[in-house]
Amino acid sequence: MDNAPPTVTGTGVVVLSSADDGGFASLRRPARPRSERYQLGHALRDHAPRTGLQYWTPAADRVDVVAQIAEAHEGRVSGLIPVRVGRMVASPYQFLRGSANVMADDFATLPRSGITPVICGDAHLGNFGFYASPERELVFDLNDFDEAHPGAWEWDLRRLVVSVHVAGRQNGFRESACEDAVKHCVAEYREQIAHLAEQPLLARSFDRLDVDRLRAAATRASFREEIERAARRARRRTSDRALPRFTEQRDGTVRLVEEPPLITRPSEADREQLAEALDGYLNTLPPHWARILAGYRIVDIAHKVVGVGSVGLRAYVALCEGSSPDDVVFLQLKQARRSVVAKHQHGDAAWHRHQGQRVVEYQQALQTVSDPLLGWTTVGERQYYVRQFRDMKGAILVEDMSAGALADYAGICGYLLAKSHARTSGASMIAGYIGGSDKLDEMLCRFARAYADQVERDHGRLVTAVRRGLVPAAVA
């Protein structure tokens, strides 16, 4: 960021560079003192008061939610759209998971501070989880970056607290328990941002949450036990353990098992294109890892449906074999499209030449440690990112949590979200804008409750459309 003061657009939105803590500025340029950046953030309250964070009123021209969901389906595999809708109508929480575009469009109508670090773009409770570090240690962090993009930090926090409130309602908790969990989430975010804003830039980049620290953050014995169970499940999710589950022997050859419509085999022509794309992917890896992967050969490739929001986008799994039949690695190619945040930041202009590269680079920016095999490639006109498919990935399930466990978990996610935002830029200004009181906690608590009502109404509209036969849905 240069030394010019923040500017205000005609709409009252404050426009700032995202590089207030160094960013991509020249090493020869003097850095702005932290105290000055903090005061810049504090001054933004004049243009975007914190009290504005509590309100939610749908815009008068808000697009019908069924039409918004249909818009998100454009370009997806048509035969899988009923599967996606079927998963979204299962509950308001599942609807929330699949409607990142709806929230982005809504949040863009609200006041914002103008501080724009790299954000997840899809920060909800289900997008935090376990995975393996390059040293094969289990860590816990944000783990979904399909929508990652520079954007308003408030949008990530808004989406996260709404998911907390909706999950609490789904579990049958009283509104007061949902609110307690939301407040704990925001308090942890606020306190961690303030802490990291005072740390050296490199120091905040090394902070990470392993299983021991995760367990220590849990105040309830039942939640600590769930962490242990989830960690054990994650440690078992490796390529060698996946081999008997996902493959079969046919004519003396190992092949991925088909389970239509969720696991299907591409045509020979598509398979050849995918194999060629994986060769190109090697060029996006650090040389050391490219050399290692070059020692494997592709045995089989299948299309495999994953998640809720991603259903209908192209996602392939490639089984690769090394020097022996039990030396295997599963690679996942996942279609990457423009982030739902992008149009609200840049309009029609696309700032990223390759959307797979965008996902990879922002994942590496937001996570403390990342999959060393992250890379990107192109298949025809579609762009993909590539990662390990079975890499000790696992999640803590919110469906059966107690109210106290949800509060603990929400706090952990708030802490991790702050850590991710602080890694990219803006920590000092965010801390200055938030301040030292619990005012932010109260404001976002009211917002989460109001927008949780909106999620339930939107979910109801989609359910009604399905019942009337206007939108196809299937269970899979």
Query: If you write DSSP's letter for every residue of 312-348 in order, what string do you get?
Result: TB-EEEEEEE-SSTT-EEEEEEEE----TTHHHHHTT
Give every CB contact of residue 351 below 8 A, 6+ residues apart in sequence.
342
Q: Would you say 154 and 363 are in contact if contact means Cβ atoms under 8 Å apart?
A: no
Read off the DSSP letter of residue 470.
S
- Given a cut of 60, whether residue 428 has pLDDT beyond it is yes
The answer as to whether 286 is a domain residue is yes
Predicted local confidence at residue 205, as pLDDT: 84
User: Do residues 302 and 451 both lie within one domain?
Assistant: no
Predicted local confidence at residue 400, as pLDDT: 83
The answer as to whether 106 is a domain residue is yes
The answer as to whether 393 is a domain residue is no
User: Do residues 28 and 153 both lie within one domain?
Assistant: yes
Tell me which residue of 129, 307, 144, 161 sits closest to 227, measured CA to CA.
129
Q: Final residue of a domain: which of 350, 367, 388?
A: 388
Q: Decide: helix, strand or coil at residue 375.
A: strand
Mean pLDDT of the chain: 91
List C-alpha distances in Å: 22 to 2, 27, 32, 417. 10, 9, 9, 20
User: Do residues 291 and 324 both lie within one domain?
Assistant: yes
Q: Would you say 411 and 420 are in contact if contact means Cβ atoms under 8 Å apart?
A: no
- Given a cut of 60, whether residue 3 has pLDDT beyond it is no
The answer as to whether 287 is a domain residue is yes
The answer as to whether 474 is a domain residue is no
Catalogue the long-range contacts made by 321-328 (C-beta closer than 8 Å, 24 or more residues apart). Answer: 321/254, 321/296, 321/297, 322/295, 322/296, 323/295, 325/254, 326/240, 326/243, 327/296, 328/239, 328/240, 328/243, 328/299
Quickly state the pLDDT bin for 426 (edges 50, 70, 90). confident
Q: How are strands ordered across the β-sheet holding 209-210?
A: 128-132, 138-142, 209-210
Quickly state the pLDDT bin for 26 (edges 50, 70, 90). low
The answer as to whether 1 is a domain residue is no
Q: Final residue of a domain: which of 322, 354, 388?
A: 388
User: Do residues 362 and 227 both lie within one domain?
Assistant: no
Q: For residues 23 and 426, what is the distance between their CA atoms, to the nearest angstrom? A: 9
The answer as to whether 167 is a domain residue is yes
Q: Which two tokens stand for residue 382?
A: 């579609």
Total domain count for the chain? Answer: 2
- Given a cut of 90, whether residue 475 has pLDDT beyond it is no
Quickly state the pLDDT bin for 9 (edges 50, 70, 90). very low
Predicted local confidence at residue 2, as pLDDT: 31
The answer as to whether 117 is a domain residue is yes
Predicted local confidence at residue 249, as pLDDT: 87
Predicted local confidence at residue 32, as pLDDT: 81
Q: For residues 222 and 402, what is the distance between their CA atoms, to the nearest angstrom? A: 8
User: Do residues 32 and 177 both lie within one domain?
Assistant: yes
CB atoms within 10 A of CB 261: 15
- Given a cut of 50, whether residue 1 has pLDDT beyond it is no
User: Do residues 46 and 189 both lie within one domain?
Assistant: yes
Quickly state the pLDDT bin for 33 (edges 50, 70, 90). confident
User: Do residues 326 and 343 both lie within one domain?
Assistant: yes
Predicted local confidence at residue 25, as pLDDT: 55
Q: Final residue of a domain: which of 357, 388, 419?
A: 388
Q: For residues 270 and 411, what is the distance between their CA atoms, to the nearest angstrom? A: 44
Q: For residues 439 and 57, what is the distance between their CA atoms, to the nearest angstrom? A: 20
- Given a cut of 80, whether residue 349 has pLDDT beyond it is no
- Given a cut of 50, whether residue 6 has pLDDT beyond it is no
User: Do residues 198 and 57 both lie within one domain?
Assistant: yes
Taking residues 111-138, what's their average pLDDT? 95
User: Do residues 204 and 308 both lie within one domain?
Assistant: no
User: Do residues 303 and 434 both lie within one domain?
Assistant: no
Read off the DSSP letter of residue 125.
G
Residue 286, domain extent: 238-388
Predicted local confidence at residue 415, as pLDDT: 96
Tell me which residue of 401, 261, 310 sits closest to 97, measured CA to CA.
310
Q: For residues 302 and 315, what is the distance between their CA atoms, to the nearest angstrom? A: 9
User: Do residues 300 and 186 both lie within one domain?
Assistant: no
pLDDT in tens, 310-319: 999 999 999 9
User: Do residues 224 and 288 both lie within one domain?
Assistant: no
Taking residues 144-154, what's their average pLDDT? 97
Q: For residues 302 and 274, what is the distance between their CA atoms, to the nearest angstrom? A: 10
